[in-house]
Amino acid sequence: MRSVSALQVVLLSAQQALLSRLVLQGKADRDINMRFGRLAFGSRARKFSEREHKQAAEEMLTDSGLAELEERVLAFLYAHSGSLKLLALLDDVVRMLSQVNCCCLI
């Protein structure tokens, strides 16, 4: 059994990341803004300005761990891009050979 190192584990809050990104990009509707406000400020959410919501969204997006996950995934893809391309090509070849084999048996 293969062990998992601490470097392979990323704590992530998808809800925090999603709500924060929507607020920061100005794509949050009234319901999303209310959900974000409750998450960020609790029951006092209505007392905070849009500017304060955006500041909190920046902090929550950083704390969500999403940026770290994105960075790790992109680094992995970059480091292993050659191998991934070869594996995709090999998969295509195997699929085509199985189709040829099926046609020959008929």
Condensed to tens digits (0 to 9), the pLDDT of residues 18-37 reads 999 999 999 989 899 889 99
Q: Which of 59, 72, 77, 70 has the alpha carbon at shortest distance from 19?
A: 59
Rounded CA-CA distance 16/64 in Å is 6
pLDDT tens profile 43-98: 887 888 889 989 999 999 988 888 888 898 999 889 999 998 999 999 999 998 88
106 pLDDT higher than 60: no
1 pLDDT higher than 70: no
Could you tell me the end-to-end alpha-carbon distance of the chain, in angstroms, rounded to an integer? Answer: 43
Q: Whole-prediction pTM value?
A: 0.62
Q: Which of 5, 9, 4, 1 has the alpha carbon at shortest distance from 69?
A: 9
Torsion from C-alpha of 71, 76, 78, 81, nearest 10 degrees: -150
